[in-house]
Structure 1
């Protein structure tokens, strides 16, 4: 087991079949003024991420709701179920004018768009969201991970995550956890990588 600064333990082998989280994703891509679009974070009520996504998608917004699969005990057995990668949050890629802002806020079970009002919405860097999208598309085992403020930042040079940057946490001689973070709401996810593909960022 390895431990984080906060004392949480992580499994040494993320590839064990009995404990491997995997990815699913929900993504909708109807275009709107692509040149001015930015990524925004939407905060939903608890367990309402999918409901918020479905409403936005039905109205033509490009929403992104990444998910991972985790083990759950139901009816006396263990099953893998998809859950939001970042509970309570999803992403929106849009050119946010006044009409769009009002339309988004009409979404049931949406708490708010993160930021200080329409004129000062918090924008998530494209690279952060694109890194999460690459992990989802690569179907790599991953798990939720405590957000890190400090650590060794690396860039992956080969494989499906080539070009992705994150914080590397060593777990084995040639294996490590690449921690990807969304700084705006201080959440992270970790994916196992080959350390020989990592170089200082």
Structure 2
């Protein structure tokens, strides 16, 4: 779902109250307010929230007045796989961050360590080895720093 500006967390809260399955990937960040430093959680993909449900759930979510648009998913299995990699990286406290670069390169799978099984793309354009986890539906990606020795080419 495409949310109205700055409504991702509020929509997630509404969906939780309505018991509708959803996924809002959040990342930790530091913001400064004057001289105060605050730890905050920000959406990894600003303006987007992933809802898992049927037409009734979509209609209910749309009635919250926090939704700007609904994206149609052509390949649900692919989206599920891409999101599961991002979910695991966040749960395992990986240093994941938004990645706005071009999503191209070699497809790989992490072979060992806590991120084992996560598939993504290696981007050699960045200074350190980073695994790019993409969400094709949005045309966006996130990157995760990882040791190259843990990667196995899958193509």
Q: How does 1:116-131 map to 2 (within 5 A)?
A: 121-124=73-76, 125-131=79-85
TM-score by length of structure 1 reads 0.69
1:181 matched residue in structure 2: 134
Cα shift at 1:195 = 0.9
- Alignment partner, residue 27 of structure 1: none
Structure ranking higher in strand proportion: 1
Is the 1:114–1:122 contact (alpha carbons within 8 Å) kept by the matching residues of 2?
A: no
Among candidates 120, 129, 151, match of residue 105 of structure 2: 151
Q: Does 1:101 align with 2:55?
A: no
The answer to whether the 8 A contact 2:110-2:150 is kept is yes
Tell whether the 8 Å contact from 1:147 to 1:181 is kept in structure 2 after alignment. no
Aligned match of 2:4 in 25, 29, 45? 45
**Which runs of no fewer than 5 residues in structure 2 stay unpaired?**
none
> Is 2:112 the counterpart of 1:191?
no
Rg bigger for which structure? Answer: 1
SS at match of 1:184: coil
Listed as ranges, the gaps of 5+ residues in structure 1 are: 1-41, 116-120
**Separation in 2, partners of 1:123, 1:52:** 24
Question: Does residue 169 of structure 1 match 2:123?
Answer: yes
Superposed structure 1 runs of 4+ greater than 3 Å apart: 121-124
1:191 positional shift = 0.7
- For the residue of structure 2 that corresponds to 1:89, the secondary structure is coil
Query: What TM-score, normalized to structure 2?
Result: 0.88
